Structure 1
Amino acid sequence: MKRILLSILTFIIPFINFAQEEKVLTFSEQIDVTFSKYTSWFVDLIFYEIPFSEEFQIPWVLIVLIGGATYFTVYFKFINFSGFFTAINVVRGKYEDIEKHGAKELYGEDGIAAVAVDGDIPDTIRDESADGEVSHFQALTAALSATVGLGNIAGVAVALSIGGPGATFWMILAGLLGMASKFAECTLGVKYRDVGPDGTVYGGPMYYLKKGLAEKNMAGLGKVLAVLFAIFVIGGSFGGGNMFQANQAAAQFVELTGLTGGNTGLYFGLAMAVLVAVVIIGGIKRIASVTEKIVPFMAGIYVLAALVILAVNYVHIGAAFGLIFEGAFSGLGIAGGLIGVMIQGIRRGAFSNEAGVGSAAIAHSAVRTKYPASEGIVALLEPFVDTVVICTMTALVIIITNFDAGFLEYGTEITEGVELTATAFDTVIPNFSIVLTIAVILFAFSTMISWSYYGMQGWVYLFGKGKISDLVYKLLFLVFVVVGASISLGSVIDFSDAMIFAMVVPNIIGVLLLTPKVRKELIKYNNAIKLKKDAIEDGVDEFEV
């Protein structure tokens, strides 16, 4: 407990010091200036752009993300594509029996059923069911809820304004490559998770960095990387995963209702904090039960509306794809030319789905399965849904509606991405901006509850498992919900974003070193699926879970 109090004091000391300075600033400005003063060096370091020429620079963290994703794609023999339909079957529950009890236990080493003649399984098998707290679908939606949101709605619009339609091509490519990164890190998340006596799962990069690297005689390195990741994920959960979401949701609420009173943000933040509290107190099971409803519902409405717009403007679809491919390889009229277009698209794709960041491995580690690779395969669907489907839909809607409306000049950066996307949708579906505002608020809410779980896992790793430790973190998280909705936090958000992408460093190092472990798990799961298929082909009845 002393360690927790010391950490809290360390966090608030800068505010106390600044309050003593004789400057007439608002509270928001005080926080903003204080954070900028103490953390700007860290932000500059994480987002430092390597100057390849006078015309373009590439953030080094982007190189690490895409470089790692490309390596994993090749190393795992394009699992992004070969494992896609298997992932669909896993989410549908086709292999739930072997994941719960084990393929050999159910179907035998040589394809001979290990079940009784009447179809009942032995009690010993039932007693050895898989650890975990949530289903594959719940784990997937919990992880998606942390990535699907403002990046898909506002971020894509900003990327198009800077990089033009061609950025869409590179955004899709980043999403496809990121599928391999998600597969690798989420497989490790399940393999090296801890399961408490009460069945509570503790997982994520902290655990596979520590335990996995210890197996490779790199225990010292593993411990250091695990602690760094835990610190970064806590910082990211308070900022980008919480305050930024609350801030943007409050702004959209004000825009929708027209309530501009001085305390509107405060009241909205308090209401949001209560709703978040109701969910996060129940842990990952409650979080997953909420996200499995919110994410498919809102994503479904969003994609359906996009499809309606594409159907109404079907004559422009061919021209839109023409612009995308032409712009992807020419970069005409865009700052930095081809490279400038490439950077904007890849940045949006990589930053949107967070593949390689390691955050999703925390949610996926809570799944019920005996085979870690089963969840890794499910996880590869995440960048596909987030970037290849939803981000691409946003891009197509903006490009196609812009043909006639002309509300966007490519190559001229905008700052309000939500408003531009809303304009695009409103050209075909009047007042859809209202639905879009509600979607932003719901996506922000689902992002907050998922990131609360991510941050708490890092907190528990550093400060220990227990009810008091959990309660301290959750109370702090709820306080930051109110703070984020109430005030402007420019430098705080920059810092928290830097914390999120700082997670890339320890995570990618660990995953690269542990790729042979991931490959063994993939082979083991593929063999289990083959064993079941062979047994069924030989006339053995499929076991019903």
Structure 2
Amino acid sequence: MLFPYIISEQNLDKNIDHVFGEATSWFVDAILAEIPITSTIGIPWVLVVLILGASYFTIYFKFVNIRSFFTAINVVRGKYDALENSEQEMFYTPSPNISSKDTKAKNDNKDTNGEVSHFQALTTAVSATVGLGNIAGVAIALSIGGAGATLWMVVVGVLGMSSKFVECTLGVKYREINNEGKVFGGPMYYLTKGLKEKGYAKLGKVLSVLFAVMCIGGSFGGGNMFQVNQAFKLLNHVVISDNSILHGQGWVFGVIMAILVGVVIIGGIKKIASVTDKIVPFMVLIYIGAVLTVLVLYSSAIPAAFGAIWDGAFHPEGVLGGFVGVLIQGFRRGAFSNEAGVGSASIAHSAVKTRFPASEGLVALLEPFIDTVIVCTMTALVLIITGQIQTGVEISDEQGVLLTASALESGVSWFPYLLTIAVLLFAFSSMIAWSYYGYQAWSYLFGRGKRTEYLYKFIFCCFTVIGAAATLNAVTDFSDAMVFAMMVPNMIGLFLLSDKVKEELKRYKKNIKKMMS
């Protein structure tokens, strides 16, 4: 009975925030530490690793992000499904995807090699990345770096497609399937099993444990508390009146969201995928529909907006170091938006029904394209043409959401309500996807029993209520830092196992060529 009062008490919020911040600031500062470029501008070292890694994979795989783009679309469309159903395969080498603990796992029936379709795996992963980063994050980038930051967001989105291809191919190649047909995959498994194959068994074990711990923390914070907190703030601002009994009562919203999330995640990845494959297209259509309407209304200003993006990217006006500032803000928001290289998406893609790991790697490269190249660019255009951006003023995530709402409102007065619906769906879908990511990491560390599964899901739902009611900035900063820190063990594994990915890509391409001939 006292729970709603306790979690909404402002003094308690501040005390917890202060104590937790003091205890974890060293970790946050270490992960988000910046390499100084000028006296006033720095670039986070994690961002350098993400961009360099994505660039390396793009070159190593001969621009797979561009050359195989339409092949990826065809995989999602089902054009090559005959390969999955073929009784015989030229160039087939079985992947070590059966757990040693589950010797009765069915590998003879190809339909049991996974739980969801290519489209469902894609929508589950997209649901975790398309969210507030596309709405608030873009506004923040443009406020600091100007219109030119948009171009660098697109660049990092295109580069990130290669990283997503690599990690998701490995996710399928080294996944495990138990005797019930349940899939367990992600960096925890390809770091352990893949690096063991390469003779780095101890390194792989250490890296996989580090990744799992940080993934669990990230699922509670950035994938849960932050999402529900920001969704309630927009709902509270746009929909709930000041004199309403629900005004500022975040715990009520948190309980409702926790119940909805709990109902979905209890069913596992199949239930999550069945929800996301309906929610994701709907929420993206709502948001893009509103944005396109505003773009049509302001169509005469679009050429000038593209001109501002191009000029701002290479010839920014203002203080010394403006170019570096624009580039960094564009790269930062692009990389942190699509999470390419972090490894989280490979957990969702591992559950796909396929016998070709590279097929899902190709599907995964569409994710940064949808998230960053399309959604982020459209958001940027709306913000630019409606004059909502004041360059040189750093803003918060909440202010970023409200700027986008104002941009949409300038087109149609009731569009902020549509944005609120989209944000609620973004938050909900991100939460259910991240609950799956966190559970996979949890099961890797603590076992796959029903008790451990329900314990994690109960804790996850409790954090949903806390996240909606409390103002725990230090907690979300720490959890966000854990998400970015996941990149460290993951990128080491991607680099060491890139030759395995190349083998899988060649095998899949050969089979496609054979089928089409």
Q: TM-score normalised to the size of structure 2?
A: 0.92
Question: Are the structure 2 counterparts of residues 327 and 263 from structure 1 closer, same or farther at C-alpha, using a change threshold of 3 Å?
Answer: closer
1:349-388 pair list within 5 angstroms? 349-388=334-373
Instruction: Tell whether the 8 Å contact from 1:130 to 1:369 is kept in structure 2 after alignment.
Output: no
Aligned to 2:23: 38
Alignment of 1:436-515 (within 5 A): 436-515=419-498
Amino acid at match of 1:362: I
Report the Cα offset of residue 408 of structure 1: 2.8
Find the counterpart in structure 1 of residue 97 from structure 2.
none
Q: Do 1:269 and 1:482's aligned partners in 2 also have CA atoms closer than 8 Å?
A: yes
2:117 aligned residue = 135
Structure 2 partner of 1:427: 410
> Relative to structure 2, which stretch is displaced further, 303-312 or 204-213?
303-312
* Greater C-alpha Rg: 1
Which shifted more, 193-202 or 127-136? 127-136
CA contact (8 A) 1:142 1:288 kept: yes
Q: How far apart are 1:409 and its partner, in Å?
A: 1.7
Cα 1:260/1:398, change in 2 over 3 Å: farther
- C-alpha separation in 2, matches of 1:334 and 1:464: 55
Q: Cα distance, 1:53 vs. partner?
A: 2.8
**Pairing of 1:93-132 with structure 2 (within 5 A):** 93-101=78-86, 104-105=88-89, 127-129=109-111, 131-132=113-114
Measure how far apart 1:73 and its partner are: 0.3
Residue identity matched to 1:189:
G
* 1:184 maps to 2:171: no
Q: How many positions carry a matched residue from both structures? A: 491
Cα distance in 1 between the residues matched to 2:427 and 2:407: 21
Distance 2:302 2:402 in 1: 23
1:52-100 per-position Cα deviation (integer Å, ceiling 9, x unaligned): 3313211000000000000000000000101110111000111112124
State the partner residue of 2:208: 226
Deviation at 1:333, TM superposition (A): 2.2
Query: In the alignment, what sits opposite 1:204?
Result: 186
Deviation, structure 1 residue 254: 1.6
Counterpart of 1:5 in structure 2 is none
2:515 equivalent in structure 1 = 532
AA aligned to 1:411 is: G
- Map Cα deviations across residues 136-195 of structure 1 (whole Å, 9 max, x no partner): 000000000001010101110111010000000000000000000000000000000010
Unaligned runs of 5+ in 2: 1-5, 92-105
SS at match of 2:479: helix
**Aligned counterparts of 1:128 and 1:141: Cα–Cα separation in 2:** 22
| Amino acid corresponding to residue 257 of structure 1 in structure 2 | I
Aligned-residue offset at 1:248: 1.1
C-alpha separation in 2, matches of 1:313 and 1:250: 30
CA contact (8 A) 2:28 2:478 kept: yes
Residue 257 of structure 1 aligns to a residue whose secondary structure is coil
Counterpart contact for 2:84–2:110, Cα < 8 Å: no
TM-score normalised over the length of structure 1: 0.88
User: Moved runs in structure 1, 4+ residues, more than 6 A?
Assistant: none
Counterpart Cα distance in 1 of 2:381 and 2:118: 30
How many Å separate the matches in 2 of 1:125 and 1:481? 38
Query: Which of 57, 77, 95 in structure 1 is aligned with 2:42?
Result: 57
Counterpart of 1:265 in structure 2 is 250
Q: Percent identity?
A: 60
CA distance in 1, matches of 2:161, 2:266: 31
Per the TM alignment, residue 400 of structure 1 is displaced from its structure 2 partner at its CA by 1.0
Residues of 1 paired with 2:395 and 2:265: CA distance? 35
